[in-house]
Amino acid sequence: MAGNLSCGAAIAGLLEAYGVDTVFGIPGVHTLELYKGLAGSSMRHVLSRHEQGAGFMADGYARSSGRPGVCFVITGPGVTNIATAIGQAMSDSVPMLVISSVNASADLGRRRGRLHEIVDQRAVTAPLTGESHVAAGPADVAAFLHRAFLNFASRRPRPMHLSVPLDVLAGPVEATWQPGAMAPPPTPDEDAVRNARDLLAAAHRPVFVLGGGAVAVPQAGILRLVEAIGAAVVTTSAGKGIVPESHLLSLGATLARRPTQSFLAAADLVLVIGSELSETESWSNNPLDLGGTVMRVDIDDAQLTINAAPRLAIRSDAAAFVAALGNVASNLPTDRQVAPVAAVRLEIAAARGALAREHIRVLDAIRAALPADGFVATDMTQIAYTGNAAFPVDRARRWFHPSGFGTLGYALPAAIGAKLANPDRPGVALVGDYGFQFTLPELGTAVELGLALPVLLWNNEGLGQIRDDMVAAGIPEIGVTARNPDFAMLAESYGCRAVRPSSLDALRYELQDALAAPGPTLIEIRPNMPEQV
């Protein structure tokens, strides 16, 4: 990868050598050199309809596969358009690499009225990334890419942004670029593991809280541990399915539910792996009351103390920690938490209001039609909030929710990315009628790619959650109703099939059909559909 290659073309070659197979983005006159390299590689380019869509696709790709999602965007508006998706990836610790152009080195910081100019592009993405860097020259580009892939492999995943000045992109590459050496993620301190093992074996009421940082833990290993010590398990929405949610010791992703919160407060040992215990999980202003002894395991030092002070803090990769624990055995009956967990589940179900029950009728129909291995990419819509806690999944990387940043428009592009990462895995996007409109044009991308992707549109004719919040706060409804388009016609104009099932039975059939179709299908769902017609 040297000689008469331009830096832009060499970047594509190096990405390929790091194992990248897909690049999401939108080309422009500033990124032609990057695309020259792409054209000469085996990597696939996916053209989104907006850079935000490209970013969410990369996010879905990364959450589904565990591999970084990669994007090419132009200087200026390309960067500001993708910034929102970068922010989402940052708050949910998703590995993402964004490579953009920036104005020529001699223009940087000068405000000369150049095309796409931002006077300090680095500053736009710096707060949203692990690192935002402007390349000083080709060698700097290769060094940054090494740092990025090393970070993805061995540290808390963070989006990374590289801006390459136009003169650097077009300039020659002198050296031959090879992928840099990788290092394994951190393993736990042996004394700490011994301590953890003793505490786990002696606990009467242990509870595990598993977050997005634990999705790569092999399920067999964590299940063996859970069953050997009789621990109850609760996850964040990012951690859904790390332990099968159908398991008798699982409370699913119910950190926001009072009965689960009381159960955690009464635990004598809480082991938190890979979670910052954020307010967007517990939906309470106060930090969760974790009772008993708190043990935290995290790859990132800063996360070991956030929102709950641990007695034992272990900096480690989650999978390495679980593997290092080895076999831990409790002397207590290992089914002692089964009945209390069942009681908490019942309490949660009994406390559900009419709206959640209505959501669950629909979610149950979706669950019935979606194969066990399927994924759901969700938007910021009420039915997804209910689903976070009430849509059971039995494996990690099957439920994607824009948790921390909470960005409307996430689901459709994220589902496209997830589908491209694992083409044989069935999956759906679950969107609200308002949030869908943020990234609806990405239907065009899904049609172009011929993706068997049902888009489940929960149409409650308005900004449901905000409307309900206003009503609850005694505020007159303002800005919570938008004139909706004819969604079916709009979808059809993109070449997407569209159906409006009139019953839950019909929804199940339509969804099964859509999962086998040669392209996307918009399935519009209304509240209060009858079981059958």
Ligand X SMILES: Cc1ncc(C[n+]2csc(CCOP(=O)(O)OP(=O)(O)O)c2C)c(N)n1
Residues near ligand X, by CB under 6 A: 380-382, 406-408, 432-435, 458, 460, 462-466
Residue 109 in 3-state DSSP?
coil
Q: What CA–CA distances, in Å, run from 473 to 45, 104, 156, 476? A: 47, 52, 39, 9
* Minimum separation from the CB atom of position 455 to ligand X (A): 13
* Minimum separation from the CB atom of position 526 to ligand X (A): 12
* Minimum separation from the CB atom of position 292 to ligand X (A): 35
Minimal CA–CA distance to 157: which of 92, 220, 222? 92
How many CB atoms lie under 10 A from the CB of residue 100?
28
How many CB atoms lie under 10 A from the CB of residue 427?
26
Q: Tokens at residue 33, please?
A: 């050199």
Residue 395 in contact with residue 241, Cβ under 8 Å? yes
CA distance 218 to 364: 27
Residue 440 in contact with residue 434, Cβ under 8 Å? no
* Minimum separation from the CB atom of position 408 to ligand X (A): 4
Burial 331-343 (b: 16+ CB within 10 A, else e): ebebeebeeebee
* Minimum separation from the CB atom of position 452 to ligand X (A): 24
* Minimum separation from the CB atom of position 302 to ligand X (A): 25
> Would you call 180 exposed, middle or buried from its count of C-beta atoms within 10 A (0-12, 13-18, 19+)?
middle
> Would you call 216 exposed, middle or buried from its count of C-beta atoms within 10 A (0-12, 13-18, 19+)?
middle
Burial 248-270 (b: 16+ CB within 10 A, else e): ebbbbbbbbbebbbebbeebebb
Select 87 or 444, whichever has its Cβ closest to ligand X.
87
How many CB atoms lie under 10 A from the CB of residue 521?
22
CA 12 from centroid of its chain's CA atoms: 25
Select 324 or 463, whichever has its Cβ closest to ligand X.
463
CA distance 256 to 351: 12
* Minimum separation from the CB atom of position 443 to ligand X (A): 16
Select 249 or 376, whichever has its Cβ closest to ligand X.
376
Select 232 or 529, whichever has its Cβ closest to ligand X.
529
Select 166 or 430, whichever has its Cβ closest to ligand X.
430
* Minimum separation from the CB atom of position 265 to ligand X (A): 29
Tally: H helices and E strands in the chain: 21, 17
CA distance 510 to 514: 6
Select 168 or 377, whichever has its Cβ closest to ligand X.
377
* Minimum separation from the CB atom of position 284 to ligand X (A): 19
Select 465 or 503, whichever has its Cβ closest to ligand X.
465
Select 239 or 409, whichever has its Cβ closest to ligand X.
409
Select 58 or 226, whichever has its Cβ closest to ligand X.
58
* Minimum separation from the CB atom of position 528 to ligand X (A): 14
Select 269 or 443, whichever has its Cβ closest to ligand X.
443
Residue 73 in contact with residue 47, Cβ under 8 Å? no
- The DSSP H or E segment spanning 233 is strand 232-235
